Structures are given as C-alpha cells and as structure tokens.
Amino acid sequence: MVVSKDKKEALVTFIHVLLHPGEFVHIIHLMGLNPDGVYNIDGEVRTYTGEELMYGGYRICTSWGGNDFTGQIIHLVQTLDR
C-alpha cells in the first residue's frame, strides 16, 4: 500500500497467493489514511471513512472457484473531510 504525503490518495495491491477451502472474504486494514477523511474507491458507489478502513478494514470477496495467484489493485481518493 502506498499513501500520498497529503493522505488524499492511496493505491493498494492485494495478491491472493493460494486459495483455501471456505475462504471467501479477506479483510485488510488500510493504514496511513486520514481518519477524518471520506474516501471513494474506484468502481464502487459507496464511500468509506478513513477510520473505518483503518480499524474496521476493507472486505475483499473471492468467488467460489477462484484461481490461485490472482490480484487486485484498489485506488482510493479522498473526496471530503467529515
């Protein structure tokens, strides 16, 4: 994960190396964000607070029958402050 110095933008790379049976949801905690900021993730309608992403985490769902060694890039942009 890389966060800009002003904490208004972040880029996360999630690599799922090996799938395990029954493992459909991963929760990753995105550290270094502005806790009072409101973030938008590319491709999603919902917004998240920095505090929510850092302490509650961001859920990544893997579908049944997924493949090993798959990845996802998550781009966050701060839209406003709370």
pLDDT score at 52: 96
Other C-beta atoms closer than 10 Å to the C-beta of 78 total 20
14 and 60 in contact (C-beta within 8 Å)? yes
pLDDT number for residue 65: 58
Tens of pLDDT, residue by residue over 46-59, are: 999 999 999 999 99
- What pLDDT, in 10s, does the model give residues 11-65? 999 988 887 777 778 899 999 999 999 999 999 999 999 999 999 999 988 765 5
Predicted confidence at residue 13, as pLDDT, reads: 94
70-78: average pLDDT: 92
